[in-house]
Amino acid sequence: MTATIKLSARQRSALRRAIIGHPLWDSYKREQGINAADLSSTRCLEIAARFGIDIRAAIAAADTDNAADTDNGDTAMSDTADNTANTAAAAASASPDKLQAALTALNALLTPQVDEAAIERIVTEKIRTALEGTALVRIEVQRADSTTYKTEGHTHPLFPTLLKALACRQANGQPVNIWIAGPTGSGKTHAAEQAAKALGIPFYFNGALSMPHELLGFTDAAGKYHTTPFRQAYEHGGVYLFDEVDASDNAALLALNAALANGVCAFPDKAEPIKRHPDFRCIGAANTFGHGATADFVGRAKIDAAFLSRFPVKLHWTYDNALEQAICGNAAWAKRVQAARARAADAGLKVIIDPRHTMAGAALIANGMSEDMAAELTYLAGLSPDQRKIVEGR
């Protein structure tokens, strides 16, 4: 925090005279590109401390000096030189007690006074403003071990629905498998992890896969079995998130068909199939519903219909603007990104402007960058000049 320090006009003028009469002043002003007119109270104190000027003596002299409070720019008057010399001599001959008193006075001037109550009010107001329009959701889950999970806060509008779907069981006692489709950065992975926390069970996940052994594990040449997140969740219970499932190879996916539909799965280290744990919950997260590539997600595969049928519950996970504004910490910036996203969609531009740009840009701005620079480094990066004009509304 930078303290704003006020000196009286007479004190500031005296300190200025001491500074511009100092041998280091000429070289310092050239390096910094400043002159005497730029010497505010705070800057006077900083430069005086840098030059080793006795600040307390200079200010004390000003309080008893009846001279007019004027500043003659960079012209060092003869009496200024005399006063500076006297000040230096006084500082050199000062007793330790006087030196300590001077240091104490300087510290008092340079130390900002913090009003903790005022800061708390400011922070509380900023949080309230950022979260405005985002509904508080109260969630209570009765777990299988008879414990209760309670939370209240700001969540995606579909999170309660996801949680209820994960908690339900079919007639055969097995939980339902759920497919979540939504654009990149919409919070699918985070929602699955939070759901596992609410249910009180472990969370496992993997990304896109190309071969069956990445799901089922494998036994190496030394006879050691290498497990997988799917195996751990299937055997011991937990929420298993198969992320980027629509970017996976169908050959790898088909290894799951029996495991998800029949309640048993064969693994290479066991002679007998392993039964599905009662608390195994499976979520497939994707950018599409498995019907093939789209204009936005050209690398997505058309998923085998038999595999898709293993996920009877499907959720369309969209962006939540209010939550995006709340969690990024900079509502004004979030609204700018969201407006750019809306303009791109209205114009039919095939570009991705997602909440990851919002989060990254907010971090850049918090570290001192301008909004325009944050935009250049995030959602505008890679766009053509014409596309930039459209998304920025210019």
Q: Is residue 142 part of a domain?
A: no
Confidence of residue 43 (pLDDT cuts 50, 70, 90): confident
Check pLDDT > 70 for residue 355: yes
C-alpha to C-alpha distance for 356 and 338, rounded to whole angstroms: 12
272 and 187 in a common domain: yes
- DSSP assigned state of 33: T
Check pLDDT > 50 for residue 158: yes
Q: Is 244 left (phi over 0), alpha (psi -120 to 50) or beta?
A: left
> SS3 for 289?
coil
> SS3 for 206?
strand
Number of domains in the chain: 3
Read off the pLDDT of each residue in 13-40 and give the average, rounded to a whole number.
Answer: 84
**pTM for the model:** 0.62
**268 Cβ neighbours under 8 A, 6+ residues apart:** 213, 216, 217, 218, 219, 225
Condensed to tens digits (0 to 9), the pLDDT of residues 275-307 reads 999 999 999 999 999 998 887 788 888 999 999
Alpha helices in 319-354 (DSSP H): 321-328, 331-346
Check pLDDT > 60 for residue 110: no
Q: Would you state the pLDDT for residue 364?
A: 95
348 and 308 in a common domain: no
Q: Is residue 383 part of a domain?
A: yes
294 and 265 in a common domain: yes
Q: Would you state the pLDDT for residue 143?
A: 75
Confidence of residue 99 (pLDDT cuts 50, 70, 90): low
Query: Would you mind telling me the total number of residues written for the chain in this entry?
Result: 394
81 and 180 in a common domain: no
Check pLDDT > 80 for residue 127: no
Q: Would you state the pLDDT for residue 102?
A: 57
222 and 297 in a common domain: yes
Lowest mean pLDDT among 62-76, 167-181, 285-299, 372-386: 62-76
Check pLDDT > 70 for residue 84: no
305 and 164 in a common domain: yes
Q: Is residue 306 part of a domain?
A: yes
C-alpha to C-alpha distance for 266 and 262, rounded to whole angstroms: 11
Q: Is residue 380 part of a domain?
A: yes
Q: Single out the residue in 285, 316, 347 at which a domain terminates.
A: 316
Q: Is residue 134 part of a domain?
A: no
Mean model confidence pLDDT for the chain: 82
Residue 334's domain comprises 321-392
